[in-house]
């Protein structure tokens, strides 16, 4: 039970080591936390609207995490309650609701919403109230200027360079030409634009660069142009279904890309479609060894799979989105447990100095804009499952990188 | 330098898009003109039919044709039921936007309730693959969809043109009382139009399930362009909606091939504005 | 009946609006939770958008799906300039850019007469094109624009309060503008356009200019609201700005509340925004959405004309005592008629209008074929001819309804052929329609007020109301001043047309078959009426099939057949003309 939530567990272990009575610790804690009753953590998620498919995942993860946390004794001796509101996938509603969480619901702590626009809106509110904001998956590090924001998704301060370089390293000279095709969705577009100079530096010839409107439906002409260009690597700035849509259009031209990389694919449709074979993407976490050896990770994976199946989620395995979601909770709770406080400033100072252990690994916040190391790994679809193929130390047992 | 193959392939792609817009737009244009209902719920019907197809073909293993036989009468009836409600409350043209928008909101939430917000793709072997014609590839699924769209538009056009239906409907629009006194059954006719519109939604939904990936939030994904096709084609005109759909689809596809995909919407919609400004009376 | 006075009642609305504004402006001093400010901001933001939409689309009836374009123009103007200029300049520019866009679009679009639904399509296309341009140019380019360090002035020591005050101000400003417009000359013009644009034009309403101005005001307000909202969301993206939410929601809110009323859209905005932002529990998100859908449907089914429509319905029921449904007999005793009614003014022989070589063809059919004729000052000119001879076409050309292919219409030394209808009206030509075309949703009084304000008289509102009441009395409709035209019978509606033509202050009034469809006794009273009009210094062109009336009334007769003038002169002499007899053979008595 104590390994479910490692920071709370650590806390109680240390108390035991110090020889203090558990009871004494428990009675001391409420004083530190300045209150009794449950600790309330507030957030919004895109539970309805166009981003709901991902918003729902974050909801499932949060519920699992809190159940585990509370079963293990909660935080600072108190139970933890999640005040969750639906922001309808709209940043302006997110802003209003975070203000409501702080000023009306008077929650003790905040945790982030989902999607770039909403996270920025929440960050603005957090900044005005000097609240610490840990968030799950934010894609444009240069936009996150608030000193008390903490990205649980460790993409580093310059993912457009570090991630692309990793991909090129992995391909090890086997790829001579690339087609960069990108959606004009902000976080995706940013990565794809940033990747272009890296490819050039590394001597990979860009044979096609295409941008399309987010929400485009007809991929036929794009597919025809990709086929015409016939690149060794299709590097697609894709979010949601766009990868699938291009692949389906390419299939109709009887053409399959040799190697193909997608930035933010929705995991299910791409992995489960026969067309997604050998597709590459980057990830912080997958529920696979060796990554899930972290304390609590395997159990989380099991619980998530159960809950996801019950909720009709097409790809019921923990992957980068849900892994980061779990990590965000771990970072927040770790900071509170370690500082024995709910004080935003103290927690923030602690995190900046020490980082936090998560299922993804040790996440640090000591670089530009509170971004630390880029912990991203490369995954590939093999047998309708995403497996890790690079770097070697994270490779899923039995998986082998396929490069043509 | 654009290769002829690329151009030809894009043209095909545009034709298919255009036919798809017409397939979805046919029901809209009929109910807008003849029922004075701006039916946003049409897209809800399409999506419900698509999810049902996903369920029946993907999970229960039925043949899509069997599903069509089940869904077309069902949605014919649903269309009538919706019209009965609108009739009963005498909902006017603008209020119909709100009522049907409310229906769409409910549908979106209900679909999410039953099938989750996640993307669902019907993985089936029906209508897959392509045949090669010269250097061009003809995707089977799209080709069948386009063919059916054309047949649907032509059939409705013929029914309006060569039977008393068209005359009776127009007479009913001009003056329901006079039409009624000449024996035009206005109410039954309006139910027929609503039913046909519902049936086209069912067919559209089956192809949405076969050709696209489903998500409840996709409900208004085609709203803008289908609206445009219906209006540009002239309300109530089945051939018009097909022609307008093709114009939009083809010009969009060619822009993507020749200029840049990101500029795709500019050409068809600029074209549309120009047409409206130069020949407003032709539309 | 004293229910309708000539004076417009003084309105308490501006005071109420001011009080509401002061209340909400003082609100931050009471230190409400920030959420309240933020929520109220959203409320006022949607009030601004819905009201600004209704100022053009609700008032004129031209439904726009492109409000997102004007709003978006404001959003992106501010987003691009906020780091260079002060917020005040940015907001002004947001409004200006949006207004320019709105006026430019309207200027191009309304060069041709576009049916309502095509206008909707055009605006939808505009929004799509604009968003694509912004997406593919440095205005955005794709990554979105993050507004860092926008320098807001600090009211109540908080930027959030400042933003709330901005949003509240634009919401209240939109409301005030809508209220003011509704009662203004422009507002009347817009409502008239909404009901019957062609008639509005020939009554002297400069419809093109009015639409441009209204579209400009509407866009400007939306643009400023967009600019403020850019600061509020602080990160603007194309897909977030130009989605269907804005155009769909403003339509929804306006129709729900009542799009033709200044307050209706705001009521709808409050209703929808409260629904959307109050029930946000994460646990029952889907149930809440379903609830919102059901509420929208039920609200619409039971309020087909919006909330305001319902209120007005009850209002009308209460203030309008049952009026005699049969046409009133006051025609014989016009309340305000001072002059002698028996002695007709005689024609002076001086030319009032000279028509030279007027021709007009429709798709090859020559409706008018080189007509030369004159109307003399002070006469009653009869214009007769068989069905389809071109009489009504001639009236339509004279009033500016149609533009002739060739020829000149000299009136007051100016050629009025091919001038817009409202210019012709301003010169003093008015007409009635064979089938009455009153503005269906304006009261009888307002119908006449529009003519008095925009016609040759061009009276300010106060005098226009007095004059309108005068002529309503003259035609015996003063007791029905607050009725809607649909509550009148045919005879009364024809007299309403007359009152409108007279109140415009025209020198020349053209009566297009005023007698058709009337009973014999109604005809007698109508003939008396025409005499009285004539005696009031008005020249009359009288188009009629009823030969008894023609012979009784007219000083001179012009006969038209197949688009040509075939005879002209003394009525009795003209009727003996063999060409006229030939033209009429077999058809002369068809109407009477």
* Tens-digit pLDDT profile for residues A253-311: 999 999 999 999 988 889 998 999 999 999 999 999 889 998 889 999 999 999 999 98
Look at residue A34 and tell me whether its pLDDT is greater than 70: no
Helix/strand/coil for C367: strand
| Average pLDDT over every residue of B74-85 | 97
Look at residue C465 and tell me whether its pLDDT is greater than 70: yes
C401, C393 Cβ separation under 8 angstroms: no
Give me the domain span that covers residue A305.
6-155+289-373
- Asked, for residue A400, whether it belongs to a domain, the answer is no
Residues C409, C373: Cα–Cα separation, whole Å: 10
Nearest of C129, C422, C404, C67 to residue C259 by alpha carbon? C67
Q: Kindly report each contact of residues A129-132 with a partner whose C-beta sits within 8 Å and lies 24 or more positions away, as own/partner.
A: A129/A102, A129/C34, A130/A344, A130/A345, A131/A102, A131/A344, A132/A332, A132/A335, A132/A344, A132/A347, A132/A348, A132/A351
Residues C320, C509: Cα–Cα separation, whole Å: 32
> Quick check: C133 contacting B, CB < 8 Å?
yes
* C316-363 residue pLDDT tens: 655 544 444 444 434 333 333 333 333 445 556 788 999 999 999 888
| Average pLDDT over every residue of C153-176 | 92
- Cβ contact A228–B5 (<8 Å): yes
Neighbours of C206 (CB within 10 A): 19
* Full DSSP string of C527-573: HHHHHHHHHTT-EEEEE-S-HHHHHHH-SEEEEEETTEEEEEE-HHH
Q: What angle do CA A220, A224, A228 make, to 5 degrees?
A: 170
> Quick check: A92 contacting B, CB < 8 Å?
no
Task: Domain count for chain A, please give it.
Answer: 2
- Cβ contact A241–B262 (<8 Å): no
Quick one: pLDDT at residue C585? 66
- The angle, 0 to 180 degrees and rounded to 10, between the axes of the packed helices C87-109 and C67-81 is 150
Nearest of C492, C462, C491 to residue C479 by alpha carbon? C492
Cα C294 versus chain centre, distance: 34
- Asked, for residue A403, whether it belongs to a domain, the answer is no
Quick one: pLDDT at residue A7? 43
Quick one: pLDDT at residue C392? 87
Percent helix, strand and coil across chain C, each rounded to 5?
55, 10, 30
* A247 plus A383 within the same structural domain: yes
> Quick check: B223 contacting C, CB < 8 Å?
yes
- The angle, 0 to 180 degrees and rounded to 10, between the axes of the packed helices A242-251 and A220-229 is 70
What residue has token string 């905005």? C269
DSSP class of B35: I
21-40 of B, contacting C, C-beta below 8 A: 32
* A383 plus A325 within the same structural domain: no
User: For a pLDDT cut of 70, what percent of chain A falls above it?
Assistant: 91
Question: How confident is the prediction for chain A on average, in pLDDT?
Answer: 89
Cα nearest neighbour of A244 on chain B: B213
- Cβ contact B105–C292 (<8 Å): yes
Quick one: pLDDT at residue A62? 97
Helix/strand/coil for C416: coil
A206-210, A229-233, C490-494: least confident range: C490-494
Q: Which residues of C155-179 are buried (b: 16+ CB within 10 A; e: fewer)?
A: bbebbbbbbbbbbbbbbbbbbbbbb
Q: Which residues of A48-63 are buried (b: 16+ CB within 10 A; e: fewer)?
A: bbbbbbbbbbbbbbbe
Residues B89, B95: Cα–Cα separation, whole Å: 11
Residue C233: which residues within 8 A CB-CB, separation 6 or more?
A91, A92, A95, A117, A121, C240
A170-174, B167-171, B277-281: least confident range: B277-281
* A260 plus A133 within the same structural domain: no
Element (H, E) at C411: strand C406-411
Model confidence band, residue A21 (pLDDT cutoffs 50, 70, 90)? very low
User: For a pLDDT cut of 70, what percent of chain C falls above it?
Assistant: 91
> Quick check: B16 contacting A, CB < 8 Å?
yes
- Asked, for residue A399, whether it belongs to a domain, the answer is no
Helix/strand/coil for A161: helix
| Average pLDDT over every residue of A4-11 | 42
B118-122, C97-101, C329-333, C450-454: least confident range: C329-333
Look at residue C35 and tell me whether its pLDDT is greater than 90: no
* A170 plus A273 within the same structural domain: yes
Look at residue B118 and tell me whether its pLDDT is greater than 70: yes
Residues A151, A160: Cα–Cα separation, whole Å: 16
* A67 plus A189 within the same structural domain: no
Model confidence band, residue A33 (pLDDT cutoffs 50, 70, 90)? very low
- Asked, for residue A205, whether it belongs to a domain, the answer is yes
- Asked, for residue A1, whether it belongs to a domain, the answer is no
Q: In this complex, which chains have at least 3 CB pairs below 8 Å with chain C? A: A, B
Both tokens assigned to B78: 């649903």
The CATH number assigned to the domain holding A169 equals 3.40.50.2300
Q: How far is B229 from chain C (nearest CA, A)?
A: 9
* Beta-sheet strand order (sheet of C556-561): C429-431, C508-512, C539-543, C380-384, C556-561, C564-569
CA dihedral B137, B141, B146, B148 (to 10 degrees): 140
Nearest of A211, B272, B262, A117 to residue C133 by alpha carbon? B262
Model confidence band, residue C10 (pLDDT cutoffs 50, 70, 90)? confident
258-317 of C, contacting B, C-beta below 8 A: 259, 286-287, 289-290, 292-297, 299-302, 304
How many interface pairs between A and B have CB atoms less than 8 angstroms apart? 124
Quick one: pLDDT at residue B282? 65
Of the candidates C289, C299, C304, the beta carbon closest to that of B105 is on C289
Question: Higher pLDDT residue, C554 or C319?
Answer: C554
B49, B202 Cβ separation under 8 angstroms: yes
What residue has token string 């898009």? B17
End-to-end CA distance of chain C: 37
* C250-307 residue pLDDT tens: 998 998 898 889 999 999 999 999 988 888 888 888 888 898 899 889 888 888 777 8
Look at residue B210 and tell me whether its pLDDT is greater than 90: yes
Residues C566, C583: Cα–Cα separation, whole Å: 9
Model confidence band, residue C3 (pLDDT cutoffs 50, 70, 90)? very low
* A295 plus A321 within the same structural domain: yes
Element (H, E) at B120: strand B120-121
* A171 plus A304 within the same structural domain: no
Quick one: pLDDT at residue C195? 93
* A133 plus A238 within the same structural domain: no
Of the candidates C239, C283, C289, the beta carbon closest to that of A214 is on C239
- Asked, for residue A221, whether it belongs to a domain, the answer is yes
Nearest of A49, A196, A268, B226 to residue C239 by alpha carbon? A49
Per-residue CA distances from C249 to B102, C54, C276 (Å): 12, 12, 11
Residue C270: which residues within 8 A CB-CB, separation 6 or more?
C43, C47
Of the candidates A56, A220, A221, the beta carbon closest to that of B117 is on A56
* B266-281 residue pLDDT tens: 988 998 888 888 887 7
> Quick check: A116 contacting C, CB < 8 Å?
yes
- The angle, 0 to 180 degrees and rounded to 10, between the axes of the packed helices B4-30 and B41-53 is 110
Nearest of C377, C341, C361 to residue C533 by alpha carbon? C341
* A173 plus A240 within the same structural domain: yes
C535, C339 Cβ separation under 8 angstroms: yes
Cα A94 versus chain centre, distance: 19
- Collect all residues of chain A within an 8 Å Cβ-Cβ radius of residue B130: 251-254
Both tokens assigned to A104: 């009306």
* A191 plus A273 within the same structural domain: yes
- Asked, for residue A277, whether it belongs to a domain, the answer is yes
User: For a pLDDT cut of 90, what percent of chain A falls above it?
Assistant: 78
CA dihedral over C413, C416, C422, C425, signed as positive or negative: positive
- Asked, for residue A401, whether it belongs to a domain, the answer is no
Residues A40, A37: Cα–Cα separation, whole Å: 9
Of the candidates A86, A103, A121, the beta carbon closest to that of C285 is on A86
A149-151 and A177-183 strand pairing: unpaired
- Collect all residues of chain A within an 8 Å Cβ-Cβ radius of residue C285: 47-48, 86
Look at residue C591 and tell me whether its pLDDT is greater than 60: no
Model confidence band, residue C525 (pLDDT cutoffs 50, 70, 90)? confident
Look at residue C483 and tell me whether its pLDDT is greater than 60: yes
Specify the pTM: 0.89
Element (H, E) at C130: helix C116-136
* C350-403 residue pLDDT tens: 889 999 999 998 887 888 998 999 999 989 999 988 888 888 899 999 998 889
The domains of chain C, with CATH numbers, are 29-244 (no CATH), 377-404+420-584 (3.40.50.300)
Residues C278, C288: Cα–Cα separation, whole Å: 10
Per-residue CA distances from C129 to A92, C69, C76, C545 (Å): 24, 9, 15, 54
Quick one: pLDDT at residue C333? 39
Helix/strand/coil for A129: coil
Question: How confident is the prediction for chain B on average, in pLDDT?
Answer: 92
> Quick check: B261 contacting A, CB < 8 Å?
yes
Look at residue C589 and tell me whether its pLDDT is greater than 80: no
* Full DSSP string of A177-189: EEEEEEE--HHHH
H helices present in A34-82, as ranges: 52-71
Per-residue CA distances from C37 to A96, A168, C250 (Å): 9, 50, 22
- Cβ contact C296–B98 (<8 Å): yes
Look at residue B215 and tell me whether its pLDDT is greater than 80: yes
- Cβ contact B91–C292 (<8 Å): no
* A275 plus A322 within the same structural domain: no
- Collect all residues of chain A within an 8 Å Cβ-Cβ radius of residue B9: 220-221, 224, 253
Q: What angle do CA C214, C217, C218 make, to 5 degrees?
A: 85
C152, C235 Cβ separation under 8 angstroms: no
* C177-225 residue pLDDT tens: 999 999 899 999 999 999 999 999 999 999 999 999 999 999 999 999 9
Model confidence band, residue C243 (pLDDT cutoffs 50, 70, 90)? confident
Quick one: pLDDT at residue C575? 85
* A238 plus A307 within the same structural domain: no
Residues B237, B226: Cα–Cα separation, whole Å: 14
């Amino acid at each position: 039970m104590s390994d479910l939530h490692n920071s709370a567990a650590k806390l109680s272990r240390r108390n035991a080591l110090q020889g203090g009575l558990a009871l004494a610790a428990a009675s001391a804690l409420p004083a530190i936390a300045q209150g009794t009753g449950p600790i309330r953590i507030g957030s919004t998620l895109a539970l309805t609207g166009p981003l709901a498919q991902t918003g729902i995942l974050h909801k499932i993860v949060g519920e699992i995490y809190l159940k585990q946390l509370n079963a293990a004794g909660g935080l600072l001796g108190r139970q933890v309650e999640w005040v969750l509101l639906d922001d309808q996938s709209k940043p302006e509603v997110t802003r209003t609701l975070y203000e409501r969480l702080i000023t009306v619901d008077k929650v003790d702590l905040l945790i982030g919403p989902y999607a770039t626009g909403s996270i920025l809106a929440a960050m603005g509110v957090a900044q005005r109230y000097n609240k610490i904001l840990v968030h799950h998956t934010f894609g444009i590090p240069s936009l996150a200027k608030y000193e008390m924001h903490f990205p649980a998704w460790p993409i580093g301060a310059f993912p457009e360079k570090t991630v692309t370089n990793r991909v090129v390293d992995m391909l090890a000279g086997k790829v001579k030409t690339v087609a960069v095709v990108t959606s004009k969705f902000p976080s995706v577009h940013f990565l794809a634009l940033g990747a272009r100079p890296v490819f050039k530096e590394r001597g990979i010839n860009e044979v096609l660069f295409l941008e399309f409107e987010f929400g485009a439906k007809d991929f036929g002409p794009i597919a025809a142009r990709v086929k015409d260009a016939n690149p060794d690597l299709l590097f697609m700035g894709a979010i949601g279904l766009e990868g699938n849509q291009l692949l389906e259009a390419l299939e109709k031209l009887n053409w399959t890309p040799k190697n193909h990389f997608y930035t933010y694919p929705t995991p299910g449709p791409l992995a489960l479609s026969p067309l997604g074979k050998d597709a590459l993407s980057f990830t912080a976490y997958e529920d696979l060894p060796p990554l899930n050896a972290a304390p609590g990770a395997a159990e989380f994976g099991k619980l998530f799979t159960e809950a996801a199946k019950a909720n009709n989620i097409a790809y019921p395995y923990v992957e980068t989105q849900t892994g980061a979601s779990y990590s965000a909770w771990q970072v927040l709770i770790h900071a509170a447990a370690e500082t024995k406080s709910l004080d935003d400033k103290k927690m923030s100072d602690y995190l900046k100095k020490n980082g936090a252990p998560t299922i993804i690994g040790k996440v640090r916040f000591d670089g530009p804009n509170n971004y630390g190391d880029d912990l991203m790994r490369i995954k590939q679809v093999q047998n309708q499952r995403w497996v890790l193929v690079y770097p070697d130390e994270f490779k899923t047992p039995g998986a082998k990188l396929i490069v043509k | 330098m654009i290769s002829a193959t690329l151009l030809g392939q894009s043209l095909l792609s545009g034709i298919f898009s255009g036919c798809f817009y017409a397939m979805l737009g046919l029901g809209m244009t009929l109910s807008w003109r003849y029922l004075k209902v701006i039916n946003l719920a049409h897209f809800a019907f399409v999506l419900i039919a698509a999810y049902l197809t996903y369920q029946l073909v993907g999970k229960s293993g039925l043949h899509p044709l069997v599903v069509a036989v089940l869904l077309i009468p069902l949605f014919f009836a649903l269309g009538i039921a919706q019209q009965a409600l609108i009739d009963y409350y005498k909902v006017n043209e603008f209020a119909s936007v709100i009522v049907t928008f409310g229906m769409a909101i409910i549908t979106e939430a209900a679909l999410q309730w039953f099938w989750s917000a996640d993307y669902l793709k019907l993985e089936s072997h029906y209508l897959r693959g392509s045949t090669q014609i010269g250097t061009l590839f003809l995707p089977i699924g799209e080709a069948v969809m386009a063919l059916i769209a054309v047949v649907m538009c032509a059939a409705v056009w013929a029914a309006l043109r060569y039977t008393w239906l068209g005359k009776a409907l127009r007479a009913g629009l001009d003056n329901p009382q006079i039409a009624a006194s000449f024996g035009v059954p206005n109410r039954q006719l309006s139910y027929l139009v609503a039913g046909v519109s519902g049936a086209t939604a069912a067919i559209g939904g089956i192809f949405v399930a076969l050709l696209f990936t489903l998500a409840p939030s996709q409900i208004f994904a085609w709203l803008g362009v289908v609206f445009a096709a219906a209006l540009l084609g002239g309300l109530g005109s089945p051939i018009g909606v097909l022609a307008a759909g093709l114009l939009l689809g083809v010009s969009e596809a060619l822009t993507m091939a020749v200029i840049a995909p990101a500029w795709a919407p500019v050409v068809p919609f600029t074209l549309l504005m120009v047409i409206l400004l130069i020949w407003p009376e032709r539309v | 009946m004293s229910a309708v006075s000539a004076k417009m009642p003084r309105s308490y609305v501006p005071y109420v609006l001011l009080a509401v504004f002061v209340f909400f402006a003082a609100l931050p001093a009471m230190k409400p939770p920030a959420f309240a400010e933020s929520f109220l901001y959203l409320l006022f933001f949607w009030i601004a958008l819905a009201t600004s939409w209704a100022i053009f689309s609700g008032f004129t009836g031209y439904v726009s799906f492109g409000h997102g374009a004007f709003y978006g123009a404001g959003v992106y103007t501010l987003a691009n300039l906020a780091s260079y200029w002060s917020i005040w300049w940015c907001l002004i520019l947001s409004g200006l850019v949006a207004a320019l866009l709105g006026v430019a679009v309207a200027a191009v679009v309304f060069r041709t007469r576009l049916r309502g639904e095509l206008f909707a399509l055009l605006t939808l296309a505009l929004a799509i094109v604009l968003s694509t341009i912004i997406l593919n140019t440095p205005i955005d380019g794709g990554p979105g624009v993050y507004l860092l360090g926008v320098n807001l002035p600090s009211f109540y020591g908080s930027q959030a309060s400042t933003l709330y005050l901005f949003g509240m101000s634009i919401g209240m400003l939109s409301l005030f503008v809508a209220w003011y417009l509704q009662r203004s000359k422009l507002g009347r013009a817009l409502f008239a356009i909404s009901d019957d644009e062609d008639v509005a034009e020939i009554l002297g309403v400069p419809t093109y200019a009015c639409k441009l101005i209204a579209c400009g005001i509407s866009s400007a307000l939306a643009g400023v609201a967009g600019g403020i909202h850019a600061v509020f969301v602080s990160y603007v993206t194309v897909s977030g700005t130009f989605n269907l939410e804005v155009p769909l929601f403003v339509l929804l809110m306006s129709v729900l509340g009542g799009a033709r009323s200044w307050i209706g859209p705001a009521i709808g905005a409050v209703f929808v925004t409260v629904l959307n932002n109050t029930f946000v529990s994460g646990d029952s998100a889907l149930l809440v959405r379903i609830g919102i859908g059901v509420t929208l449907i039920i609200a619409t089914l039971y309020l087909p004309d919006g909330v305001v429509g319902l209120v007005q319905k009850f209002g009308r029921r209460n203030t309008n005592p049952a009026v005699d449904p049969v046409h009133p007999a006051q025609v014989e005793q016009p309340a305000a008629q001072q002059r002698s009614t028996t002695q007709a003014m005689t024609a002076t022989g001086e030319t009032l209008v000279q028509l030279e070589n007027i021709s007009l063809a429709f798709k090859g059919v020559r409706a008018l074929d080189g007509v030369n004729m004159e109307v003399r000052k002070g006469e009653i000119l009869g214009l007769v001819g068989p069905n389809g001879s071109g009489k009504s076409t001639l009236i339509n050309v004279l009033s500016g309804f149609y533009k002739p292919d060739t020829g000149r219409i000299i009136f007051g030394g100016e050629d009025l052929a091919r001038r817009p209808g409202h210019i012709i009206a301003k010169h003093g030509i008015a007409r009635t329609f064979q089938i009455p075309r009153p503005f269906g949703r304006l009261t009888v009084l307002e119908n006449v007020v529009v003519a008095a304000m925009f016609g040759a008289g061009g009276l300010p509102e106060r005098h226009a109301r007095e004059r309108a009441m005068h002529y309503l009395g003259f035609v015996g409709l003063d007791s029905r001043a607050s009725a809607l035209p649909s509550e009148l019978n045919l005879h009364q509606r024809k007299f309403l047309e007359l009152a409108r033509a007279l109140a415009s202050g025209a020198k020349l009034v053209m009566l297009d078959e005023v007698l058709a469809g009337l009973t014999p006794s109604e005809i007698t009273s109508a003939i008396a009426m025409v005499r009285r009009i004539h005696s009031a210094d008005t020249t009359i062109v009288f188009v009629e099939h009823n030969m008894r009336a023609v012979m009784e009334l007219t000083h001179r007769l012009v006969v038209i057949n197949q688009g040509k003038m075939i005879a002209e002169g003394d009525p009795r002499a003209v009727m003996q003309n063999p060409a006229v007899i030939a033209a009429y053979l077999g058809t002369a008595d068809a109407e009477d």
